Amino acid sequence: MNYSIIPEPMEMHTGTEDVFALTRLCNIKVGRGCEKAAACLKKFLRDSFSLEVFGSGKESIILKTDSNMKKAESYTLIVKENEVEIIGSDEAGIFYGVQSLRQLLFQGDLTLPEVYINDSPRFSYRGFMLDCGRYFFTKEAVFVFLEMMALHKLNTFHWHLSDDQGFRAQIMSKLLLTEIGSYRSHTNFNKRKHEGYYTVEDMKEIVEYAHNLCIKVIPEIDTPGHTVAMLAAYPELSCFDRDLTVATHWGIKYDVLCVGKESTYEFMKEIFDELLETFTDGIFHLGGDEVPTERWKLCPHCQKRIKAQGLKDESELHTYYLDRIASYLKSKGVKTVMWNDKVKDYMVSEDIAWQLWNDEMSKTDVVGEINSGRPFIMANSSAYYLDLPYAVTPLKKTYDFEPLYDGIKEENKHLVRGVETCLWTEFVPTMQKANYCTYPRLGAFCETAWSAKENKNYDKFIKKLPSYMNLLEGYGIDSATVRQAEPGIIRKTGNLIWWERRKFCWAGLSNVIDNAYVRKTYGKKEN
């Protein structure tokens, strides 16, 4: 029997003879700070083996922490005659030891040989993003994603809660955001309406669920672009107080927040004040991506703001907005992350961590920014966007991606806080599709997030997949097969045709027509 773990541990040895068999008499000894790990282990035994453990027999599982272990989130796992001992550096370390134990117990059907594992993570930030703006995923579905994140030793849930096509976070002082903004009448060219949002209670429950799995939650209210659902609820947030409906087509929209009006800043502060009560991990994502400046060019409020602040142009207005929001959050003790979008034509404050996603920033610019002290999270779309078809991003491309670019100075490598993989959901309306896109990619991704670079090996990873997929199946998750994830020429061509077809939706002819109307109506008056 070959035992294996995903992500690959730093050091792992297994014997050949079985020395430990877990029965209902097993005694689980839980040290201080190990309660979350113990709860997770017991739930696993219940869910996967219908086993309630009593604790009067001779075999035991000992969970304890040792503050002498200096590396955060690290653990050792030792299996010997009738005993499993996991020692963690901290609460998270012991929790990850249990995640490895889950995989071993599953493979051995509760029986184990001698095992020695010594393990710790490569990156401190190991993220997964779920886009709930395009499609709403139920609270229970979010729980499943969180469970899977924990199994993959990921520790940061980036929750994309708003987009043009839906605003999903209930804000008590601004109920129209969800009463109007969470519903759309149809989706692209179909007739299906779509709706759903998380109540404050739901969000609190999800945050608590995540914390019990040693996962931090970073909420994202994407502004100033991607805000049509907000504008539909509160037209005064837009330039020209436009009467809009929640977006029904994908694509980048020209209507964005009016960042000229002072009332917009007040509105956003009030949203964040409420969210701060729910999201307590001290990091917020500001969005900041894909912001056309067409409306700002015509809007008297925006133009007045540019003059009053001595800004060069609309691009600097974008920076001004993000800096103001970030400094407000900073005054509340909150760090901010935003998408990188462009580098040279606007520069937000140095203390904003950038989440790299597109190729608009050259590697040289990225390295330059890192070497000048800016923290980064690497979420390179070409490797880590889970919605891209396997024809565009086959499994090996995800596996092989190296986030520490050449040229980053040794003393600055820590500024690459880590990596994140993103599930955008324009084309992911169901859990079945979500699972197909996400697995086994999440397995490939987590070997970069967690495992030492020198321990990565694609052939070995592929050999580990059958037992990994069996484990997922136990959670009702149908992963893509290796043949699907590494498509041959015929499958690849079909995949690419399907993917290219999406541009038909993205083009959003209505955007073009609407923009001509706005220019005609508002442009002339101002010029």
Question: Is the bond preceding 394 in cis, omega lying within 30 degrees of 0?
Answer: no
Strand runs labelled E in 186-278: 194-195, 216-223
Q: Is 518 in the site for Zn ion (CB under 5 A)?
A: no
Provide the 10 A C-beta neighbour count for residue 463. Answer: 12
Residue 509, classed as helix, strand or coil, is helix
Pairing of strands 75-80, 216-223: unpaired
Q: What Å distances lie between residue 428 and 136, 218, 422, 425, CA to CA?
A: 10, 21, 12, 4
Q: How far apart are CB 228 and Zn ion at their closest, in Å?
A: 15
Query: Do 17 and 75 touch, CB atoms closer than 8 A?
Result: no
339 binds, among Zn ion, ligand ACM, none (CB under 5 to 8 A by kind): ligand ACM
Q: What is the DSSP string of 93-128?
A: HHHHHHHHHHHHHHHTTTEEEEEEEEE--S-SEEEE
Query: Do 300 and 240 touch, CB atoms closer than 8 A?
Result: no
Indicate which single residue of 80, 204, 297, 301 sits in contact with Zn ion (rule: CB under 5 A): 301
263 vs 280 by CB, closer to Zn ion: 263
Q: How far apart are CB 517 and ligand ACM at their closest, in Å?
A: 26
Q: Is 260 in the site for Zn ion (CB under 5 A)?
A: yes
36 vs 318 by CB, closer to Zn ion: 318
What is the CA angle 301-255-189, rounded to 5?
165
Q: How far apart are CB 217 and Zn ion at their closest, in Å?
A: 32
Count of residues near ligand ACM by CB under 6 A: 4
253 vs 456 by CB, closer to ligand ACM: 253
Footprint (CB under 5 A) of Zn ion, residues 302-321: 302
Q: How far apart are CB 296 and Zn ion at their closest, in Å?
A: 6
Closest residue (Cβ) to ligand ACM? 289
Q: How far apart are CB 240 and Zn ion at their closest, in Å?
A: 8
Query: Do 186 and 127 touch, CB atoms closer than 8 A?
Result: no
Q: What Å distances lie between residue 313 and 254, 294, 316, 398, CA to CA?
A: 17, 12, 5, 38
Q: Is 384 in the site for ligand ACM (CB under 6 A)?
A: no
Q: Locate tokens 């009463």: which residue?
A: 179
258 binds, among Zn ion, ligand ACM, none (CB under 5 to 8 A by kind): Zn ion
260 binds, among Zn ion, ligand ACM, none (CB under 5 to 8 A by kind): Zn ion
Rounded CA-CA distance 79/83 in Å is 6
Indicate which single residue of 202, 274, 281, 289 sits in contact with ligand ACM (rule: CB under 6 A): 289
Count of residues near Zn ion by CB under 5 A: 6
Interface with Zn ion by CB under 5 A: which range of 109-117, 195-203, 251-259, 415-423? 251-259
Residue 160, classed as helix, strand or coil, is strand
289 binds, among Zn ion, ligand ACM, none (CB under 5 to 8 A by kind): ligand ACM
Q: Is 299 in the site for Zn ion (CB under 5 A)?
A: yes
- Spatial CA neighbour of 265 closest among 240, 229, 299, 301: 301
* Helix, strand, coil % over all residues of the chain, rounded to 5: 45, 20, 40
217 vs 302 by CB, closer to Zn ion: 302
Footprint (CB under 6 A) of ligand ACM, residues 351-380: 357
Indicate which single residue of 85, 274, 281, 290 sits in contact with ligand ACM (rule: CB under 6 A): 290
86 vs 352 by CB, closer to ligand ACM: 352
Q: Is 127 in the site for Zn ion (CB under 5 A)?
A: no
Q: Which residues bind ligand ACM (CB under 6 A)?
A: 289-290, 339, 357
Q: Which residues bind Zn ion (CB under 5 A)?
A: 239, 258, 260, 299, 301-302
